[in-house]
A and B are shown apart, each in its own frame.
Chain A
Amino acid sequence: MSQIQVEHLVKEYKRKKNPEGLIASAKSMFRPEIETMQAVDNVNFAIEKGEAVGYVGPNGSGKSTTIKMLCGILKPTTGSVRVNGLDPFHDRMKNNKNIGVVFGNRSVLWWDVPVIESFRLFQTLYEIPEKRFKENLEKFTEIMDIAPLLSVPERQLSLGQKMRCNIAAAFLHDPQIVYLDEPTIGLDTESKASIRRCISKINEEEKTTFIITSHDFQDIESLCRRIILINHGKIVLDDNMQSVKQKFNQKKQIQFEMEQNPWHNGEEFICQGVRVMGTTSHSLKLEYDLEQTDSMKIMTAVAKGSEIQDVNISGRDIEEIIRDIIRKDNHIKRSSDVM
């Protein structure tokens, strides 16, 4: 059995409609109109120990709701979640000992006391042996570069400093699974990079399972080998990062810089599966379909007619691919809604 098993998971929210206008608002105080929305709609997936999964989707697609159900703080409307064989909602306390959570917009630390006091309290609450605690504290203090922050109360820290302390806090008890919900919000590039390095290392060395939601696709790309895409509460894509790139990256662009462009103001450059995107007297920009041709063929063809000085090949990055998939999915949904 997988470490995390999600089957037919559904979460419905009932929401009071907030009508417009004063009279309608007053009416709704007594007889509110309730609307039901499916935040998560029949979601299925399984995650093995040691995987690093990127859970992505646009705003309001049901990412955080899913994560909250995985942690056990929201009760699923129907369907089941099993984490290490436990139901995280009913065995929350047991489950809590095995997981670490970082919410980008919430802190787990005590607001008014120095950070180290919060860490010490975690040691007691999670029953971490002194030796292990010291090792972990030292390790994560160094990785997150928070040594000078330990004696400062949390309320005096900046957003990024708070995040770094929170990330360190999530790892102190050697969790088996770590949920990171927008972990790099408010961090500078240097901290982002060191967090990514650190997570990759823990993932490899300790076989810790990671589930990461982020709007920063660099986070997802550098950390996750698998990506699950959710839109309108439904899973649209669940695949290996590499194969997503290959499958959806069929078109690439290639740009040549040359002495003299013989195809500018002359006959058109013709090659199977290639479309000319732009020409100047010194450059040529082409888009080609990977199923019909490849970059070597094109280069050979171009080299025959001119002297190439520079070449630049670019494909779409994962962010663009995801955006495309979502756009298509929204389109399908809308047209099916009409019918």
Chain B
Amino acid sequence: MKKMKELVRMTFLTKFAYMKAFWFNVLGTGASIVIYYFLWQFVFQKQNSLNGFTMVQMTTYVILSRILSSQFGGGINEELSQWIYEGKIGVELLRPISLFFTLFAKRMGEFLFFLLFKGVPISILCFLILGGTAPAGVLNFILFVLSIFISIVIMFFIEFMVGICAFYTYGYHGLMFTKSALLSILSGGIVPIFLFPKGLAAVLTYMPFAGMVSVPVNIYLGKYVLAESAKFMMLQIVWALVLCLAAHLFYGHVIKKVVVQGG
């Protein structure tokens, strides 16, 4: 636990070194929220509700989903790919802790930093300016937070697998872009999943991606009854376990073939 804490601290120190770049990132997220807000306002001029969503609820969805999905641009996959690509992976493999541990601690650090300096302040600011609803209930809020924490674990394993694909591609920019685009769409980060064609929407609801944006935000808005919330969160946990297993199998397979480049 102490090792985790120290590694999280290191991530914070690293993040602080790039604070100026981070402010631009925050600004970008803010801008995207405003754009989506006006887009939906146009839609709601003609009607009062869309599939049970009122304008205020949609505003809430936009704020929360944009902020949550702004994480897709980051994550540990870029760094892991870079390590593989540049050969630094050798050094990381020589640490007295496992690669999973190092990267998970980094991911937690990144997430906490995100919450503290972006998630919470930008949410509050947007709620004050654009308006939005409070959580449907205390329990909803608690489950919302819990669900986000589980989704970080899901994200971590997906990022990990995307990251090691660099073993095969020897490049990582395409991987990064594909990951961030796919996750944004499939998680409901760009538009709510109910807007997709019926069949696709039904499938997506049960995919691990929904757990990253759609599930927590719907829980927050009270779109799911308690039993449904519980069901979707159980599903999140199942996906986390499945992806954890997949990541370990993939890693075990790849690590034997590691060609540590250069040197």
Contacting A92 at CB < 8 Å: which of B18, B93, B259?
B93
Q: Does B17 contact A (CB under 8 A)?
A: yes
Report whether B97 and A93 are in contact in the complex, using a CB–CB cutoff of 8 Å: yes
Report whether A73 and B260 are in contact in the complex, using a CB–CB cutoff of 8 Å: yes
Label chain A's interface by main secondary structure: mixed
Contacting A97 at CB < 8 Å: which of B91, B93, B96?
B96
Cα A93 to Cα B93 in complex, Å, equals 8
Which residues does chain B contribute within 8 Å of A97, judged by CB atoms?
96
Report whether A75 and B96 are in contact in the complex, using a CB–CB cutoff of 8 Å: no
Contacting B3 at CB < 8 Å: which of A107, A110, A124?
A124
Contacting A106 at CB < 8 Å: which of B87, B95, B259?
B87
Q: Does A46 contact B (CB under 8 A)?
A: no
Report whether B91 and A110 are in contact in the complex, using a CB–CB cutoff of 8 Å: no
Q: Does A206 contact B (CB under 8 A)?
A: no
Q: Does B13 contact A (CB under 8 A)?
A: yes
Which residues does chain A contribute within 8 Å of B146, judged by CB atoms?
none
In the complex formed, the residue of B with least CB distance to A71 is: B94
Which residues does chain A contribute within 8 Å of B87, judged by CB atoms?
106
Known interface pairs A68-B90, A75-B256; A110-B96 also in contact (CB < 8 Å): no
When each residue 91-127 of chain A gets 1 if its CB lies under 8 Å from chain B and 0 otherwise, what string results? 0110011010101111110111100010011001110
Q: Does B179 contact A (CB under 8 A)?
A: no
Report whether A125 and B3 are in contact in the complex, using a CB–CB cutoff of 8 Å: yes
Cα A74 to Cα B93 in complex, Å, equals 10
> Known pairs A75-B255, A96-B96, A111-B14. 12 more at Cβ < 8 A?
A72-B94, A73-B90, A74-B258, A99-B94, A101-B94, A103-B263, A105-B263, A113-B17, A117-B13, A121-B6, A125-B97, A181-B263
8 residue pairs, one from A and one from B, having the closest CB atoms: A112-B17, A124-B6, A113-B13, A112-B14, A73-B93, A96-B96, A73-B90, A75-B256
Q: Which residues of B are interface residues toward A (Cβ below 8 A)? A: 2-3, 6-7, 10, 13-14, 17-18, 87-91, 93-98, 255-260, 262-263
